Amino acid sequence: MFTHRSPSKVKANISSTTKTHLIRGAFYLFLLLPAFVIPLALGQRYVTGSSGSENTLRAPNCTTLSQYDNAATEPPLGIGSQQFEPAMTAFDDQAADDFVVNLLPLNFFYITEVRVMGEYSQGGGPASSFNVYLYRDAPGHLPGELIQALLNQPYTGTPPDFTIHLTSGLLDSGTYWISVQAVQNFNPNGQWFWHNRTVQSNSGAAWQNPGDGYGTGCVTWNRKNACMPDQVSPDQVFSLHVCVVENTPTATPATRTPTPTPTLTPTSTPIASPTATATPTATPTLTQRPSPTPRVAPTPRVRPTPPPRP
């Protein structure tokens, strides 16, 4: 059956329906808002604050520092740098060569890859892994303070080219020494030798044999040709893949120091003096006159007390 509705009721229903759709649309828009806001927030630059300025960390700029040239062609082609099995610890030795990284203030670098030229003794190999040590430069330009020991690092390649994959910690500008040491048992895998370089860069390579198994007396770092006179090639063949983290200071706009609002000193409110209290005037004592003899009042009749109301 068709029911007739008045125009006023129809308009009221339309208005209510429109309002419902508007509220629902606004709610959906509110739910979608994070999908636009969150990616914008993630895309912002990372900054670390400091007093008076901010430092913007940019994406690393990677490059290669190379001494991968001028390889020796006359014996001795290389020098030992190897960690042996425990029974032969006295023969554990290390070779090291230096490198220099000059950076702007607040910038740092880290090493992601070391490439070395090297060979096994006849019938020897393979190495199980490599140890990589990083030292600061000491007085006399020899390896000094050990700052990182990256042990048992994996590698790829075969003689004469080995690539060791690693991630060092952050280092600042300066001169460093790197030592690459094969982890390899002499029985049955023989020896590994780091290939010599005939051209010297920075200071000449260093060598040590803490257990003095070779009888050279170089139980601490010394120039390799001072330990073994036949080591006439001054350096080692290697290259480093380094990444520089640029930390660029960004000027921070000066912040205006708010002018202090003067504080009004409250004016002391005078304390009202108490109103003087009038001293009461003494009331004169009236002289009593003799009272007349009272007349005897008639005795009143006693009325009965009414009972309490229920």
Q: What is the DSSP string of 53-66?
A: EEEEEPPPEEEEEE
- Does the global pTM surpass 0.85? no
**Is the per-residue pLDDT at 146 higher than 70?**
yes
Please state, in angstroms and rounded to a whole number, the distance separating the CA atoms of residues 123 and 16.
Answer: 92
Least confident of 72-76, 98-102, 186-190, 283-287: 283-287
115 or 271, which is more confident?
A: 115
Given phi > 0 = left and psi -120 to 50 = alpha, else beta, which region is 7?
A: alpha
Please state, in angstroms and rounded to a whole number, the distance separating the CA atoms of residues 38 and 32.
Answer: 11
Domains of the chain: 61-244 (2.60.120)
Asked if 160 and 150 touch (Cβ cutoff 8 Å), the reply is no
Q: Tell me the two tokens of residue 172.
A: 């600042």
Please state, in angstroms and rounded to a whole number, the distance separating the CA atoms of residues 103 and 246.
Answer: 9
Please state, in angstroms and rounded to a whole number, the distance separating the CA atoms of residues 84 and 138.
Answer: 27
Least confident of 37-46, 125-134, 269-278: 37-46
Question: Residues 158-178: what's their mean pLDDT?
Answer: 97
Residues 72, 201, 148: CA angle, nearest 5 degrees: 100
Distance between alpha carbon 126 and the CA centroid of its chain, in Å? Answer: 39
Structure confidence by residue, pLDDT tens digits, 78-98 = 999 999 999 999 999 999 999
Mean per-residue pLDDT of the chain? 76
Whether residue 76 has a cis bond before it, omega within 30° of 0? yes
Q: Tell me what pLDDT residue 59 has.
A: 76
**Is the per-residue pLDDT at 261 higher than 80?**
no
Structure confidence by residue, pLDDT tens digits, 98-140 = 999 999 999 999 999 999 999 999 999 999 999 999 999 999 9
Helix intervals (H) in the chain: 7-42, 186-189, 224-227
Q: Tell me what pLDDT residue 247 has.
A: 81
Structure confidence by residue, pLDDT tens digits, 204-238 = 999 999 999 999 999 999 999 999 999 999 999 99
Please state, in angstroms and rounded to a whole number, the distance separating the CA atoms of residues 146 and 168.
Answer: 13
Which range among 34-38, 60-64, 184-188 has the greatest average pLDDT?
184-188
